[in-house]
Chains A and B, each alone.
Chain A
Amino acid sequence: MNISAEIWQAFVVCVAAIFTQNILLSYFLGLCPFIGVSREIKAAFGLGAAVIFVMVSTCMLNWLAYRYVLLPLNLHFFRFILFIVIIAAFVQFVEMVIDRFSPRLYQTLGVFLPLITVNCAILGASLFMVIRNYTFIVAVGYGLGSGIGWFVAIVAMAGIRQKLKNDRIPPGLQGAGITLIITGLMALAFIGFTGVLQGG
């Protein structure tokens, strides 16, 4: 496969990961911070942006670790442990770097990083990419798409929840209850994208 075909495939995978196979709305991964941090658009925006960044970077790192460490040593069954360790170490490292060099960026994005370390969507993206045998470039596209997909979902949810603030919600459904119902409705809406992409 030549490079341009690969880039095209990466693009298709990326778009598919945003819409038709949104990691949050079709696999329901990363649901915990999604519900917890979607009350305000500002916080949702920061967390979403941090997820995009970490998702892309860890997909790259984990792809390299899988291809050049685990496969040659025939230790692919250790990918769960290794991936999560790499994600954790990477997030820690990035947090330190941002804190040192841009305190302002740290306050907007960096503070969300510890929350992401154990976000299952991040680990999920790395595992899917391995299971589906993506090449490096496609894996990057997949990471980017998954991140953007998660970002879109949480920002949309935060927007909806901010609007809901002044609406009357049955007492038993307030908070997490109504959020889960909305998530379900959003997921249904995203199913509407199926068929947009043939190659995905």
Chain B
Amino acid sequence: MKKSPQKQKLEQMLHSSRIVAGGFMGTDTRSIDEIIDADLARLDRLGKTATEIAQKMQQITDAACRGLGEWVKIDDRRQAMVDEAKGIMVCPWPHPGRFCKRLTFVKNVDTGTQIRWSDLNIHLIGEHGFFEGVGSEFRIEPIGLVELIFDI
């Protein structure tokens, strides 16, 4: 399918390793729209929107920041911790978006499952519905994420 030049440029940016090692697409051969559509369809079945998820992620990150790198209790079932590095990340979409290099680790105390995300992940999910391509370093599986951060 033909893509607009803007989309071609965006995909080039996502495939390149300018912003993060290995790029955002991983080994995924689908187009950006296909990846986003497929993930959003999965969320739809779980009854959550990308905006809700991003808001919840941001809440957890904000709470975890107070620990300055130590595990912080979020609620009875979850703990979170942040790990920060110096420098900034920019959003690959063509708009101004700069984020700290901050990783949030979230752990379910009962099951031990753990997921990590960066500040950029929160923005990509909330603004662009993009969970990254399969096989990329910071791909987040929507179903696992929803199960971990929401009580369902």
Chain A residues packing against B (C-beta within 8 Å): 32-33, 35-37, 39-40, 43, 47, 111-112, 114-115, 168, 171, 174-176
Question: Cα distance A175–B40 when bound, in Å?
Answer: 11
A43 touches B1 (CB 8 A): no
Partner among B4, B33, B38, B44 whose Cβ is within 8 Å of the Cβ of A115: B4
Q: How far is the CA of A33 from the CA of B7 in the complex (A)?
A: 12
Whether B37 lies near A114 (C-beta < 8 A) is: no
Task: Determine whether B34 belongs to the interface, using a CB cutoff of 8 Å to chain A.
Answer: yes
Contact at A33–B6, with CB atoms within 8 Å? no
Tell me which residues across on chain B come within 8 A of A168, comparing CB atoms.
44
* Complex contact A32–B2 (CB within 8 A): yes
Residue on B with the closest CB to A172? B41
- Please determine whether B45 and A115 come into contact, CB atoms closer than 8 angstroms: no
- A35, A40, A114: the one contacting B1 at CB < 8 Å is A35
Q: Does B3 contact A (CB under 8 A)?
A: yes
For the complex of A and B, list the 7 residue pairs with the smallest distance between their C-beta atoms, beginning with the closest: A171-B41, A111-B5, A36-B2, A37-B4, A33-B2, A36-B1, A43-B4
Contact B41 A37 (CB under 8 A): no
Give chain B residues whose Cβ lies under 8 Å from the Cβ of A111: 5-6
Residue of B nearest to A116 (CB): B2
Chain B residues 38 to 76 lying within 8 A of chain A, measured CB to CB, are 38, 40-41, 44-45
Residue pairs across A and B with Cβ atoms less than 8 A apart, 13 shown, are: A36-B1, A36-B4, A36-B7, A37-B2, A37-B3, A37-B7, A40-B4, A47-B4, A111-B5, A112-B5, A115-B4, A171-B41, A171-B44
The reply to whether A114 and B5 form a contact with Cβ atoms under 8 Å apart is yes
13 A-B pairs besides A36-B1, A37-B2, A112-B5 with CB distance below 8 A are A33-B2, A35-B1, A36-B3, A37-B3, A40-B4, A43-B7, A47-B4, A112-B4, A114-B5, A171-B41, A171-B45, A174-B41, A176-B1
Count chain B residues whose beta carbon lies closer than 8 angstroms to a beta carbon of A.
15
Instruction: Please name the residue on chain A nearest to B129 by beta carbon.
Output: A165
In the bound complex, what is the Cα–Cα distance between A175 and B4 (angstroms)?
15
B117 to chain A, nearest CB (A): 24
Residues of the A chain whose Cβ atoms lie less than 8 Å from the Cβ of B40: 174
Set of chain B residues within 8 Å of A115, measured between Cβ atoms: 2, 4-5
Q: Which residues of B contact A47 (CB under 8 A)?
A: 4
Whole-angstrom distance from the CB of A69 to the nearest CB of chain B?
30
Nearest chain A CB to B43's CB is how many angstroms away?
Answer: 11
8 Å CB contact of A175 from B3, B5, B33, B44 = B33
Interface pair A32/B5, CB less than 8 Å apart: no
Within 8 A of A (CB), among B73-127: none
Q: Which of A33, A35, A43, A175 contacts B34 (CB 8 A)?
A: A175
| Complexed CA–CA distance, A153 and B2 (Å) | 17
Name the residue of chain B whose CB is nearest to the CB of A111.
B5
Contact with A along B1-40 (1 / 0, CB 8 A): 1111111000000000000000000000000011001101
Q: How far is the CA of A35 from the CA of B3 in the complex (A)?
A: 9
Within 8 Å by CB of B33, from A39, A112, A171, lies A39
A47 to B4, CA, bound (A): 8
Assembled-state Cα–Cα distance A174/B37 (Å): 7
Q: Contacts of A176 on B, CB cut-off 8 Å? A: 1
